[in-house]
Structure 1
Amino acid sequence: MAIQFSRRRFLSTAAMTGAGVLAMPYLSRAADRPMVSHGVQSGDIGVDGGMVWSRADRASQMMVEVSTTESFKNARALPPIYALPESDFTAKLLIDNLPAGQDIFYRVKFRDLAHTDIVGEPVVGRFRTAPADRRDVSFVWGGDVAGQGYGINAEDGGMKTFATMRTHNPDFLIHSGDTIYADGVIAAETKLPDGKVWKNTTIVPEKAKVAETLEEFRAAHKYNFLDEHVRAFNAAVPIFGQWDDHEVTNNWSLSKQLPATYKERDITLLAARGAQAFREMYPIRSNPNEPGRIYRTINYGPHLDVFMLDERSYRGPNGANLQEKYGPDAYFIGPDQMAWLKRALLASKATWKVIASDMPISIVVENDATTHTGSEAIAQGDGPARGRELEIADILRFIKSAGIVNTVWLTADVHYTAAHYYNPDKAQFQDFEPFWEFVSGPFHAGTFGPGAMDNTFGPEVKFVKAPGADNQNLPPSAGMQFFGHVQIDGKSGQMTVTLRDRADVALWSTTLDPKLG
């Protein structure tokens, strides 16, 4: 539900309503009160507001106060909404009609359904609304959390990449997918190749097996929220979320043949449960025409529009994908989403158009690494555009013919970091303008790569950091955990992209000058 109020009403009613909420009585024992169980989040922030999320430990009502000051002196209470078992006690609230370019503080607590004077302790979060003017913008991106059995290890400091990203005080995070590893077991200990032991000090029973039930998918998300760095980051930095395969199972498409570890054999049912848990656990705005839709445009002021893609829900089967003519078997983004992306790019007035793609364009990702057959991602191997590459060729041709400038692709998925410059002079398909794709991650998972590159669109690898073929699946303790940081200068419009590791070492950087359309 959307809560609408003007800036004048926001300021003029704050003192009266804020005082009333703060005067509510509290019980002495926390166990008697509904509590925030997994922190707070905000997301999909625009010029006038965004989503706020939290989860209770029982059926209750979520109560939210918002203020333009950290002291909550001018707080205004919003109408409460329900947190019920049907949504695993999660609740999301759209707060709009806020002032642009403003730090917003929000306070969440839950109250008992039967006894409205019984209220839990509040948890505070913050976000910054998008600017209406040309001010500086800063954000981070990447993906892959709790993969390959690497969970929360207190001896290694927990999920430290989130703490490092938070030090940059970014306006938001683009979470490029693999927010969980629903197909990954989190055991108490994992023996590493060097003989050392990785100790997952936080364990939940549901993570002892692959996720099959809705409760098990939900538990995978809640497991990550147990990390102190993740909770602190979520409370301070808005999240623009998208999903990839591990929100369901590795390399899933509707043709997926599930391994023997699964009792549930219906991939469609597994995908539906994974999608429901993802939507419940992330502060994504709901589309009235398609409530479950993940692809969307986020307008973040005059300098930036972000186009969040969904490369799972509409794809055809994983397989050879070598078709020369476009059809259902070659779908990756799908016709409806393709049409939306073209319309959205054409309508964009922002300086920069960031296309958030959960999978890279030209890194070869096999569907089956054992048999070396079929494709999981876009790339089909060297040569002309085929199969899923036909959609990318169509998009790139459209961008060129429509005169759309300053497109940048951001992605993750492959568990290493890289910078790719796409040069039509070196490509098999050449009907496009040069552009950049930047790869980052994992946030907290095994490190792999580098992958083989497909020459269809002429990628030049300007930078790569990966463990190498003889040193795969490095644990987070090896330090090769990566994220990307983007800064847009408000005056010049220049975009600086920096690839960093979890120790905050700037590994590589470039500054892009905006072109005039």
Structure 2
Amino acid sequence: MTELNRRTLLRAGGLGVAAGIVLPGVAYATPKARPVLTHGVQTGDVTSDGALLWTRADRPSRMLVEVSRDPSFRHARCLRGPVLTPTTDGTGKLRLTGLPAGEEIHYRVHAEDLDGRNSSAPLVGSFRTAPIGRADVRFTWSGDVAGQGWGINPEIGGMTAYAAMLARRPDFFIHSGDTVYADGPLKESVTLPDGRVWRNVVTPEKLKVAETVAEYRGQFAYNLLDENVKAFAARVPSIVQWDDHEVTNNWYPGEILDLPQYTEKRVDVLAARAAQAFHEWQPVDRRRAEDGRLYRSFSYGKHVEVFVLDMRTYKDANTADKNGQGQILGARQARWLVDGLARSRATWKIVAADLPIGLIVPDGKDIEGVANGLPGAPAGREFELAWVLRTLARRHVRNVVWLTADVHYTAAHHYSPDRAAVADFTPFWEFVSGPLHAGAFGPNVLDPTFGPEAVFVHAPPVANTSPLEGFQHFGEVQVDGRSGDLTVYLRDGKGTSLWSKTLRPSR
């Protein structure tokens, strides 16, 4: 992070973009016009001394940032960010550091022409750095955005669940995957069973399945056309993971597609292109990831540490032997998770999973998720999860809570060895919440291997229920700084609490 003179941020001039250089997917102003920050600002991967700041410009330009504890920006630090170029689709990130812990931080972003003579209109935002001690913590989680044909509908105010989450004033948001639906083209209108018409905002990239890097970029750009999403992103830092729809439905490494809508059949090629776009457009700090991809952890005060999983990149084939020893995390990530949970001094260890553990998630005749749908001893991908749960029990790790989305309804699952085919693990809770803005489904059938019990379920009566019908969801976690008690709320898309549970830490 480079300091610079504050006056550099305020210069304006006549010359615009360098001749002949434009970025795809946007309309460009005349050369003498100012640069434009096209898709708002975001922060992510927040720490006790800062966060990762993201923006995008419509032409080659320099990202310039002011940072202050004061919303008036008096005594602001002025920082020189990266050059925003077509190489990264005009996007850029700057890691903010050296900030006080547990404080509200305000930032203002400009894009300055490369000759320094012209500057964009500023965009402002804020975030709270992670605390260090016994602080109250509030965060939300959900997933599944713009799926099953339900895109941005201006007639209902767009993706309004984001506004409901913002009203809860969370310290951060865990986006549990399916951040976009790159495999789900949109139509301009959808006629509902009762005759009402749903109308989508549509862009060229959303008219077909994504295959090229440019088409994958367009998936992430689309969601940031929504004013609710942009307002939320400017005020709440995200911890983002991915699942399948960032690439294609139910994908796994090495898969070869037989779908006619794809000209590129090799999933590994599609996944690499999608990953490039994902990292360009999401406020994810690859330097914090264990292998430079996605799985990573974050401490948020004395009581909370979040472990972000990648249950997509390292999984075996959906057609793998259900009775053998499969994998969903891979050996390296599984060991990282167990070691990290065992070392953690946080009261609550939050595992952000992109797939549920005990729900049967089919892929045609095969299995997409962890549970293999068979009673008895763990097998297939369950075998690896059983190793994780048993090792945590042997190492006396307590107060682990799993959060996920994926299945497009909300539920509370309690797992216990008293009901399970596995006797040597510590009981735990898994909370499911979604979709944030997509078709609603469910409920799925529970697999008995780890003894799950569905304590609460809110799901629609029919598959692919539209966002108009009240089955959009997000979850909220509140941790009391004094007692360490953790309360989970499962909320609908308007923010109404449907169910809650307070957990007291085991000592």
Please tell me the TM-score bracket, short chain as reference: over 0.9
Q: 1:84 maps to what in 2?
A: 85
1:350-371 CA-to-partner distances (Å, cap 9, x unmatched) read: 0100000000001100011xxx
Taking the aligned partners of 1:289 and 1:461, their CA distance within structure 2 comes to 33
Aligned pairs for 1:19-30 (under 5 A) are 20-21=7-8, 23-25=10-12
Q: CA deviation at 1:22?
A: 5.1
The one-letter amino acid paired with 2:125 is: G
Distance 1:448 1:17, change over 3 A: same
Taking the aligned partners of 2:341 and 2:81, their CA distance within structure 1 comes to 37
Matched, 1:342 2:343: no
The one-letter amino acid paired with 2:361 is: V
Matched, 1:459 2:460: no
| Contact 1:321–1:374 (8 Å) recurs in 2 | no
| Contact 2:186–2:206 (8 Å) recurs in 1 | yes
Q: 1:432 maps to what in 2?
A: 425
Aligned length: 491
| Contact 1:319–1:367 (8 Å) recurs in 2 | no
| Contact 1:4–1:97 (8 Å) recurs in 2 | no
The one-letter amino acid paired with 2:452 is: P
Q: CA deviation at 1:292?
A: 3.7
1:18-55 CA-to-partner distances (Å, cap 9, x unmatched) read: 4x245423669975111110000000001111100001
Aligned pairs for 1:266-415 (under 5 A) are 266-287=266-287, 292-324=292-324, 326=325, 330-368=326-364, 373-381=365-373, 382-415=375-408
1:153-174 CA-to-partner distances (Å, cap 9, x unmatched) read: 0112110000000001100000
Q: 3-state DSSP class of the match of 1:77?
A: strand
Q: CA deviation at 1:178?
A: 0.2
RMSD: 1.7
Taking the aligned partners of 2:56 and 2:291, their CA distance within structure 1 comes to 20
Q: CA deviation at 1:255?
A: 2.4
Taking the aligned partners of 1:410 and 1:260, their CA distance within structure 2 comes to 35
1:101-150 CA-to-partner distances (Å, cap 9, x unmatched) read: 0111111110111x212110110111100001211000000100000010
Q: 1:138 maps to what in 2?
A: 138
Q: 3-state DSSP class of the match of 2:311?
A: coil
Q: 3-state DSSP class of the match of 2:46?
A: coil
The one-letter amino acid paired with 1:213 is: T
Taking the aligned partners of 1:347 and 1:24, their CA distance within structure 2 comes to 50
Taking the aligned partners of 1:357 and 1:419, their CA distance within structure 2 comes to 14
From 467, 480, 501, give the equivalent of 1:510. 501
Q: 2:480 maps to what in 1?
A: 489
Q: 1:479 maps to what in 2?
A: 470
Unaligned runs of 5+ in 2: 17-28
Q: 3-state DSSP class of the match of 1:45?
A: strand
Q: 3-state DSSP class of the match of 1:116?
A: coil
Aligned pairs for 1:158-177 (under 5 A) are 158-177=158-177
1:412-435 CA-to-partner distances (Å, cap 9, x unmatched) read: 000000000111100111210110
Distance 1:359 1:256, change over 3 A: farther
Taking the aligned partners of 1:138 and 1:26, their CA distance within structure 2 comes to 44
The one-letter amino acid paired with 2:207 is: A
Matched, 1:204 2:203: yes
| Contact 1:364–1:379 (8 Å) recurs in 2 | yes
Tell me the TM-score normalized by structure 2: 0.94
Aligned pairs for 1:142-161 (under 5 A) are 142-161=142-161
Q: CA deviation at 1:17?
A: 4.2
Taking the aligned partners of 1:344 and 1:293, their CA distance within structure 2 comes to 17
Distance 1:194 1:28, change over 3 A: farther
Q: What percent of counterpart residues are identical? A: 50
Q: CA deviation at 1:219?
A: 0.2
The one-letter amino acid paired with 1:453 is: L
The one-letter amino acid paired with 1:487 is: Q
From 489, 496, 499, give the equivalent of 1:498. 489
1:381-425 CA-to-partner distances (Å, cap 9, x unmatched) read: 122100100111011111111011100000000000000011110
| Contact 2:255–2:268 (8 Å) recurs in 1 | no
Taking the aligned partners of 2:447 and 2:247, their CA distance within structure 1 comes to 27
Q: CA deviation at 1:288?
A: 7.4
Which moved further from structure 2: 444-453 or 187-196? 187-196
Q: 3-state DSSP class of the match of 1:396?
A: helix
Q: 3-state DSSP class of the match of 1:79?
A: strand
Q: 1:9 maps to what in 2?
A: none
1:328-379 CA-to-partner distances (Å, cap 9, x unmatched) read: xx121001101111121111110100000000001100011xxxx1100000
Distance 1:157 1:67, change over 3 A: same
| Contact 1:51–1:284 (8 Å) recurs in 2 | yes
Unaligned runs of 5+ in 1: 6-15
Taking the aligned partners of 1:217 and 1:22, their CA distance within structure 2 comes to 32
Matched, 1:63 2:60: no
Taking the aligned partners of 1:331 and 1:479, their CA distance within structure 2 comes to 36
| Contact 2:148–2:438 (8 Å) recurs in 1 | yes
Distance 1:26 1:74, change over 3 A: farther
Q: CA deviation at 1:207?
A: 0.8
| Contact 1:321–1:380 (8 Å) recurs in 2 | no
Q: 1:10 maps to what in 2?
A: none
Distance 1:215 1:315, change over 3 A: same
Distance 1:476 1:510, change over 3 A: same
Which moved further from structure 2: 102-111 or 186-195? 186-195
Q: 3-state DSSP class of the match of 2:279?
A: helix
Q: 3-state DSSP class of the match of 1:379?
A: coil
Distance 1:389 1:34, change over 3 A: same
1:446-501 CA-to-partner distances (Å, cap 9, x unmatched) read: 00000011000000110000013xx1111111121000000000000000000000
Q: 2:226 maps to what in 1?
A: 227
| Contact 1:103–1:127 (8 Å) recurs in 2 | yes
Taking the aligned partners of 2:124 and 2:8, their CA distance within structure 1 comes to 15
Tell me the TM-score normalized by structure 1: 0.92
The one-letter amino acid paired with 1:195 is: G
| Contact 2:166–2:232 (8 Å) recurs in 1 | yes
| Contact 1:255–1:318 (8 Å) recurs in 2 | no
| Contact 1:26–1:120 (8 Å) recurs in 2 | no
Q: 3-state DSSP class of the match of 2:132?
A: coil
The one-letter amino acid paired with 1:346 is: A
